Amino acid sequence: MGDLIEVRKLTRFFDLGGNQLVHAVDNVSLTIGEREIVGLVGESGSGKSTFGKTLLGLHDKTDGEVIFRGEALPKKYRPADFQKLGTKMQMVFQDPYSSLNPRMTVGEIIGEGLRLRSSLSASDVKEQVVDWLEKVGLHADHMSRYPHEFSGGQRQRIGIARALILEPEFVVCDEPISALDVSVQAQVINLLAELKETMGLTLLFIAHDLSMVRYVSDRMAVMYLGSLVELGKADEVYFSPKHPYTEVLIGSNPEPDPNTEKGRVSTSIQGEIPSPVNVRPGCRFANRCPKVLYVCREKTPELIPLRGEDRLVACHLIS
Amino acid sequence: MTAGKENVDSGIPLLTVENLQVEFDTYGGTVQAVRGVSFSVDQRQTLAIVGESGCGKSVTVQSIMGLIPTPPGRITAGSARLRGHETLGRSTVGGKQIRGAEIGMIFQDPMTSLNPTMTIGDQIAEPLQVHRGYSASDAFTEAIRLIELCKIPEAAKRARQYPFEFSGGMLQRAMIAMVLSCKPSVLIADEPTTALDVTIQAQILDLMQELQKETGMAIILITHDLGVVARMADEVAVMYAGKVVEYGSADDVFYHSAHPYTVGLKEAMPMNDPARQHVLKPIDGSPPDLFAPPAGCGYCPRCPYAMQICSERQPQGHNLHGHHFASCWLHHAKSGRKPETIFFKDAR
C-alpha cells in the first residue's frame, strides 16, 4: 500500500491588506495512503477546511506542494487542471443546504460532472445518474426534483453522489455529517464506509465530532491554528493523546455515558483559539497550554516521530 | 431561596408540565407539534430533553416561556405550573414576571439572539431595570459584576463592546449573564452549546453547573447530543414526534433504556469504549409527518420491534420502576416479546 497523496509543507495565507496576514494553513505535511481514511480534527478556525480546499486546488497554494501518485499538482489551478483532476479528486461539502444549486434539478446536479468531463451521451449520463441515486439510497424519480424538496440527510446523499459519480480516487469530506441528526449521521457514515470499500476510495474526513472521526478513520490528524500538532492511528491518538492540545480536545468531548461523565475530572481549559492573523513564532498552543515551558514561546516545535510508535507529535515536551 | 424551601417541604416540584399540546396553523394544514408532553423539574436539578430536529422539544419550552406566537401557534391543552401556579397564558406569577424574572432562557445561536445595536453591558442591564427597578447606572455596575461572574475577562471593557466584537463562546456567557441578572428559578437552555467547539462547550457546561450550585436554579437543557446529556442531566426526557417516549433518571435512560428509539439513538452513535466496539446502526427512515400524526406509535415505521398494535393504537406510558416511564407496547403485560431480552443487554 503506497502513498496516494503526499502533502509537503502546504501553506495558505490570506492577505487582509495593511500588513495583516491570516496564517490559515502553515507548513502542514501529511501523507495519505491508498484506501486509507485520514480524519482531520480541530476547533473551528484551525484551518481544517482551508487545508482540504487547498489540497484540491480550490484555494491557490501560498507555498508547498501536493504530490498525487508521484506527480506534483499545479500551484495555482487553471480551468484545464480542474477539468483533468476533477475525475481523480472530489469534495463533499459541509452544508447540504448551500452547496447544491437550488435552480438545478437533482439529476442535473449529479450528472453535471459527467456531462462536462466525459464523452457520454445524454441518455448514458442519465442512466448513470439513476444508478447513483440508487447507490446512495434515493430513487430514480427523484431526478427531476429540486434540492429544496429533500431533507438534510437526503441532500448530503445528493452531494455524495455528485462527488462520486466521476469515480474519483480521492475524496475530501468536509464535515459531511455535522448538519445532520444523530440517526441520520449513522446512515451517511455507513454509506461512505460502504462506498469506500466497493470503490477503493481514499478519504480525508474533516470533522469536529471526535467520536465519529475515531470511528471512521484509520489515522487521525489534529490541527491547531493552522498547524498540525499530532498525527497517528485513530484509536491510539484518541485513547492516549500525546500533545497537550489533543489531550484537552479529547478530554472535552462528552461521552454518552453518565458514569464516565460524572466521574470525569474537568479538563476544560481557559481561553479560546487565538486569531490566526500574524502569528508569532513559538508553539501556537503556548498561551492556553496547561504544561507550557519557557521554550514553547520562543521556538516553533517540529512535528517529529515518537520513539517506537507510529505517531508524530509537535511538542517541546516530547522532544 | 425561601420559596425553594417551601417547595421542598410541600413536595410540589418547582415546575410541572402536564399533557401539553401545541398546534400551528400553516398553509399546508395544522401541525401538531407537541402532542401531550409531561415532565417536572425541581430545584438544583437538571432535566435534559433529547430528540431529533422537529420532535417538538423547542416548542415545548417556548410554550412554557409564552414565546409561541398566537396565531399561528395555539396551546390546545395542558398545563405548566410553577410552584403550583399556572403559567400558561399568563405573564406573571405571584406578582413576578414569568418570562425573564422567574424563567430565563438562553438560545442556540447567541449571535442572532442578542441585539446588534446595543452594547453587551446595556443588554444585560436592561432586565435589571425592567424587572428589578434598578437605576441605569446601578444596573450597569451590576451588569459588569455579572459579566465577571460568567468569567468574561476584562469585564468593564467588554461591557462597553457590541456583540460583533465577541466570539461565540463569549456571547453565550453574556447571554447567561443576562439571564442570571434576575435570579430566575428555572433556566431553560435550548441547544446552548450546539454552535460551539467542544473545548468551549466544556467551559459553558462547567459554568452552568457552577451557577446552578450557587443559585439553586433548576435547568431544563434541550440538546440532541447524548454526550452532553450524560454530562449534565439528573433526569432525561426522550422526545419523538411531539411526545415524550421515555422519561427517567439519567442512569435509567442510559443503562436501562426502555424504548426502542432510545436504544436506536444509542446504537447510532459511536461509543469510545474499546471493550464495547460496535458497528453503527442507523435508524432507517425519517420521523412521521405531524400534519397527519399516525394513529399508533409515531416510531412504529422505523421500529425494528414493531407489532401489529403499534400502528393502530397509541401506547400508554408504562411505569417500569421508580419514576422511569416508557411509552411502548412491548411493556404491556400481554406483549409476547419480553422487553428485557431486547433492551437491557447493556445493563450494568
Residue type, A169: E
Q: What is the mean pLDDT of residues B32-61?
A: 91
Q: How far is CA A228 from CA A42, A86, B171, B179, in A?
A: 9, 27, 28, 39
CA quadruple A206, A211, A216, A222: dihedral sign: positive
CA nearest to B261 within chain A:
A183
Quickly tell me which residue has 448513470 as its cell: A128
Instruction: Determine the Cα–Cα distance for residues A191 and A197; give it in Å rounded to an integer.
Output: 10
Rounded to a whole number of angstroms, the distance between the first and last alpha carbons of chain B is: 38
Put simply, whether B198 touches A (Cβ < 8 Å) is yes
Tell me how many helices (H) and strands (E) chain A has: 10, 12
Contacts of A182 in chain B (CB under 8 A): 52, 224, 226, 265, 268-269
Q: What is the mean pLDDT of residues A136-160?
A: 88
Put simply, whether B28 touches A (Cβ < 8 Å) is no
Measured torsion, CA atoms of residues B92, B97, B99, B103, in degrees rounded to the nearest 10: -100
Instruction: Determine the Cα–Cα distance for residues B150 and B174; give it in Å rounded to an integer.
Output: 7
What pLDDT score does B4 carry? 41
Put simply, whether A266 touches B (Cβ < 8 Å) is yes
- Residue B188 clears pLDDT 90, i.e. is over it: yes
What pLDDT score does B275 carry? 63
Nearest to B199 among A189, A264, A268 (CB): A268
Whether a cis peptide bond, with omega within 30° of 0, leads into A256 is no
Q: How far is B77 from chain A (nearest CA, A)?
A: 29
What pLDDT score does B292 carry? 86
Nearest to A258 among B201, B251, B281 (CB): B251
Residue type, A42: G
What pLDDT score does B185 carry? 92
A243 CB-side CA count, 13 A: 33
Query: What is the band of B270 on the pLDDT scale with cuts at 50, 70, 90?
Result: confident
Furthest-apart CA atoms within chain A: distance in Å? 67
Question: How many other CB atoms are found less than 10 A from the CB of residue B174?
Answer: 27
Cell readout for A47 is: 484551518
Instruction: Determine the Cα–Cα distance for residues B144 and B138; give it in Å rounded to an integer.
Output: 10
Q: Crossing angle for the helix pair B168-180 and B198-215, nearest 10 degrees?
A: 10
The residue ranges of every structural domain in chain A are: 3-88+168-313
**Range list of H helices, A78-233:** 79-85, 106-117, 122-135, 152-164, 182-199, 210-216
DSSP secondary structure code for residue A284 in this structure: T
Instruction: Determine the Cα–Cα distance for residues B228 and B191; give it in Å rounded to an integer.
Output: 10
- Residue B346 clears pLDDT 80, i.e. is over it: no
User: Can you give the pTM of this predicted structure?
Assistant: 0.86
Query: What is the band of A227 on the pLDDT scale with cuts at 50, 70, 90?
Result: very high
Q: What is the mean pLDDT of residues A75-80?
A: 90
Instruction: Determine the Cα–Cα distance for residues A50 and A52; give it in Å rounded to an integer.
Output: 5
Look at the domain A3-88+168-313 and name its fold. Answer: Rossmann fold (3.40.50)
Contact call for residues B126 and B78 (beta carbons, < 8 A): no
Residue type, B284: D
B54-93 pLDDT per residue, tens: 888 889 999 988 888 888 889 999 999 988 888 888 888 7
What pLDDT score does B8 carry? 47
Query: What is the band of A41 on the pLDDT scale with cuts at 50, 70, 90?
Result: very high
Instruction: Determine the Cα–Cα distance for residues A170 and A160; give it in Å rounded to an integer.
Output: 13
Name which residue leads in pLDDT, B302 or A152: B302
Pairing of strands A311-313, B29-41: unpaired
Contact call for residues A141 and A103 (beta carbons, < 8 A): no
- Binary contact (A248, B281; C-beta < 8 A): no
Query: What is the band of A139 on the pLDDT scale with cuts at 50, 70, 90?
Result: confident
Contacts of A215 in chain B (CB under 8 A): 270, 280
- Residue B120 clears pLDDT 60, i.e. is over it: yes
Adjacent-strand bridge partners of B64: none
What pLDDT score does A219 carry? 95
Nearest to B283 among A151, A183, A254 (CB): A183
Put simply, whether A261 touches B (Cβ < 8 Å) is yes
User: Which A positions 102-141 lie with beta carbon below 8 A of chain B?
Assistant: none
Buried b (16+ CB within 10 A) or exposed e, B237-261: bbbbbbbbbbbbbbbbbbebbbbbb
Question: How many other CB atoms are found less than 10 A from the CB of residue A299?
Answer: 12
Residue A138 has φ and ψ, to the nearest 5°, of -110, -175
Residue B318 has φ and ψ, to the nearest 5°, of -105, 130
- Residue B347 clears pLDDT 50, i.e. is over it: no
Instruction: Determine the Cα–Cα distance for residues B289 and B294; give it in Å rounded to an integer.
Output: 8
Pairs of residues, one from chain A and one from chain B, whose beta carbons lie less than 8 Å apart: 121
Task: Report the percent of chain A where pLDDT is more than 70.
Answer: 99
Put simply, whether A287 touches B (Cβ < 8 Å) is no
What pLDDT score does B277 carry? 62
Rg (CA), chain B: 21
- Residue B348 clears pLDDT 50, i.e. is over it: no
Query: What is the band of B10 on the pLDDT scale with cuts at 50, 70, 90?
Result: low
